[in-house]
Amino acid sequence: MNYKDIFANELYHVIENKVAYETILNRIEKPSQESYGDFAFPCFDLAKIMRRSPQQIASELAPKLEHPAFERCESVGAYLNVYLKKRQASSEIISDVLESGYEFGRSNHGNNGKVPIDMSSPNIAKPFSMGHLRSTVIGNSLALLLEKIGCEPIRINHLGDWGTQFGKLIAAYLKWGDEEKVRQNTIKELLALYIKFHEEAEKDANLEDEGRRWFKRLEDGDKQAVKLWEWFREESLKEFNRIYELMDISFDSTNGEAFYNDKMDRVVQLLSDKELLKESEGALVVEMDDDNLPPCLIKKKDGATLYATRDLAAALYRYETYGFSQSLYVVGNEQSLHFKQLIEVLKKLDFDFAENMHHISFGMMLKDGKKMSTRKGKVVLLEEVLEEAIQLAKVNIETKNPSLLNKDVIAKQVGVGAVLFHDLKNDRRNDIDFSLESMLRVEGETGPYVQYTNARACSILRKGQYTKGDVSGVEDEKAWPIVMLLNAFPETVQRAAREFDPSIVAKYLIDLSRSFNKYYSHVRILDEENMKQGRLDLVASVSIVLTEGLRLLGIHAPQEM
């Protein structure tokens, strides 16, 4: 039972449907002070409709708002403030959490709609850096959130596995490569060959032509070129999968750029049939003056296709394969123009599904305030960061709880969780600075802090030999902020999924952890026998919501730390 919904519904009927229910629900606030009640509604929007001052409207409506869950409703200036019956509400909210368990907050708002999520998408034969972390973990969390609200997410790792660079790599391997070395350390060796190619090309311009020739042979299906490309791709995926396994992330599809090679001619033909293609300096473009966008380049002067052509082919393929209700592209802010063009070109082709395609943009991962760069050697390898975080977590465990069982498992959960939470707690659109030290703190806005709060709750439940009985609610006032946060969890999940922003859940978990730790520091939960069961019910509810909230971020919640 969501009490915010109850308040919105009562108000909707009292004002005789003059304002849409969703509008009312979205306007309801949490008062700045507890003395102002549990929910507040500002009446400013109603002033235009009801032709009276907001203060007058609030005072008129307050006596009319009656519900068995309300203790009272008061007007304070232009606000309607509702006070809930605490004992009754806490009993109902905690019962709801305990009965639902980890299903608490689940809904079917998504109506089982399929949602392909284009995420992660590293380039094969190149290092998996911290720069790739954001797309990977934001995409995975969105998949978990959408599944929670009744969608069917489809995780797609759209690998960067095509382009002229592979011609250069094949040429470099045939000149200087060592098969055994590549098999032993694929990414490192292939990157070294790629760098060597560019160094040598500065001395010998013919190398660039050789690289282009090998890519042309690859495009034409040359057996030797295809065999080497397939090997580079396969070995790269093995290395990537090791990193994905560390983070417990898997994919439903690894169809990369190369998969769409035989699907692009259709796109060019569709554009031609609609008379959308124009020639510009020998290249083929779709003009987008009406949309205040630069022309979208479809084919280069030499006939080569581009990202836009591939992504148009991919969008068509995904719609025809999945019949999606929404399609998400978890790609950095710098690609905003590309996705605007992509969506507008599909609209020009009269594909209605383009309205449901969304670019889920995000900021950069910075190091010392600067962009990471593979070419300049300023890249931080994700696998090294994860391993270091796990080792540091292990050291912390050895120091603080040396007798802990399953130390290696928990160290992995804490170390990896710290890295993921550090990314996901930030609004995805903002740049974030990489700092391993700040990630692993067990205080402040960190993953270990939330995990430790849950472990503390589990420890209390063990000491109290907790078993669920009849839920009577919590009598002490200090528990009320926690109860209200528990009540807000389903709405938090909805909002995070609707706004495609996992940070909404991460920030909620920090708030719930702080509220619980404040309660723990002021209340001796196990000492008063007549209050013990109600308090333990509250603790159990907190553990359920923290565990499920962390899961929605792709993070484990160990019961001991």
Q: Which two tokens stand for residue 412?
A: 């992995």
User: What mean pLDDT is predicted for residues 376-399?
Assistant: 83
pLDDT of residue 366: 79
Read off the DSSP letter of residue 295: P
Binned at pLDDT 50, 70 and 90, residue 127 comes out as confident
pLDDT of residue 205: 85
pLDDT in tens, 535-551: 999 999 999 999 999 99
> Is the per-residue pLDDT at 379 higher than 70?
no
Which three-class secondary structure state does DSSP give residue 40?
Answer: strand
pLDDT of residue 475: 75
Q: Which residues are 327's β-sheet partners?
A: 357
Contacts of residue 130, defined as CB under 8 A and 6 or more positions apart, other chains included, come to 365, 367, 372, 379, 380, 381, 382, 385, 434
Distance separating alpha carbons of residues 119 and 330, to the nearest angstrom: 5
Contact between 284 and 278 (Cβ < 8 Å) = yes
- As its CATH architecture, domain 3-84 has 2-Layer Sandwich (3.30)
CATH number of 382-551: 1.10.730.10
Binned at pLDDT 50, 70 and 90, residue 501 comes out as very high
Please state the three-class secondary structure of 305-337 as a single string: ECHHHHHHHHHHHHHHHHCCCCEEEECCHHHHH
**Whole-number Cα distances in Å, 224 to 218, 227, 231:** 8, 5, 11
Q: Which residues are 153's β-sheet partners?
A: 115
- Token pair 């994860």: residue: 386
Exposure pattern of 349-368 as b/e (b: 16+ CB <10 Å)? bebebbeebebbbbbbbbbe
Contact between 476 and 520 (Cβ < 8 Å) = no
> Is the per-residue pLDDT at 419 higher than 90?
yes
User: What mean pLDDT is predicted for residues 176-200?
Assistant: 91
Read off the DSSP letter of residue 381: B
pLDDT of residue 373: 54
Binned at pLDDT 50, 70 and 90, residue 375 comes out as very low
pLDDT in tens, 134-165: 999 999 999 999 999 999 999 999 999 998 89
Distance separating alpha carbons of residues 73 and 427, to the nearest angstrom: 35
pLDDT of residue 469: 81
Average of per-residue pLDDT values in the chain: 92
Read off the DSSP letter of residue 150: T
User: What mean pLDDT is predicted for residues 7-30?
Assistant: 91
Instruction: Find the radius of gyration of the CA atoms of the chain.
Output: 28
pLDDT of residue 304: 65
Please state the three-class secondary structure of 426-479 as a single string: CCCCCCEECCHHHHCCCCCCCHHHHHHHHHHHHHHHHHCCCCCCCCCCCCCHHH
**Whole-number Cα distances in Å, 391 to 398, 412, 447:** 11, 8, 16
Which three-class secondary structure state does DSSP give residue 378?
Answer: coil
> Is the per-residue pLDDT at 436 higher than 80?
no
User: Residue 126: how many CB atoms within 10 A of its CB?
Assistant: 18
Read off the DSSP letter of residue 29: B
Binned at pLDDT 50, 70 and 90, residue 305 comes out as low
User: Which of 120, 187, 394, 386 has the alpha carbon at shortest distance from 195?
Assistant: 187
More confident residue, 34 or 211: 211
> Is the per-residue pLDDT at 327 higher than 90?
yes
Distance separating alpha carbons of residues 504 and 426, to the nearest angstrom: 9
**Whole-number Cα distances in Å, 558 to 414, 425, 449, 453:** 8, 19, 12, 10
User: Residue 199: how many CB atoms within 10 A of its CB?
Assistant: 10
Angle at which helices 186-203 and 206-219 pack, to 10 degrees? 130
Dihedral Cα 207, 209, 215, 217, nearest 10 deg: -110
pLDDT of residue 471: 81
Q: Strands 70-76 and 79-84: what pairing?
A: antiparallel
Helix (H) or strand (E) holding 42: strand 39-42
Amino acid at 472: S
Q: Strands 114-118 and 79-84: what pairing?
A: unpaired
pLDDT of residue 381: 79
User: Which of 75, 69, 6 has the alpha carbon at shortest distance from 41?
Assistant: 75
User: Which of 75, 60, 82 has the alpha carbon at shortest distance from 9?
Assistant: 82
> At 84, phi and psi to the nearest 5?
-90, 160
For the chain, the domains span: 3-84, 163-250, 382-551
User: Which of 371, 344, 369, 365 has the alpha carbon at shortest distance from 355?
Assistant: 344
> At 482, phi and psi to the nearest 5?
-65, -45
More confident residue, 385 or 105: 105
Q: In the chain, what's the furthest Cα-to-Cα distance?
A: 86
Contact between 114 and 68 (Cβ < 8 Å) = no
pLDDT of residue 389: 92
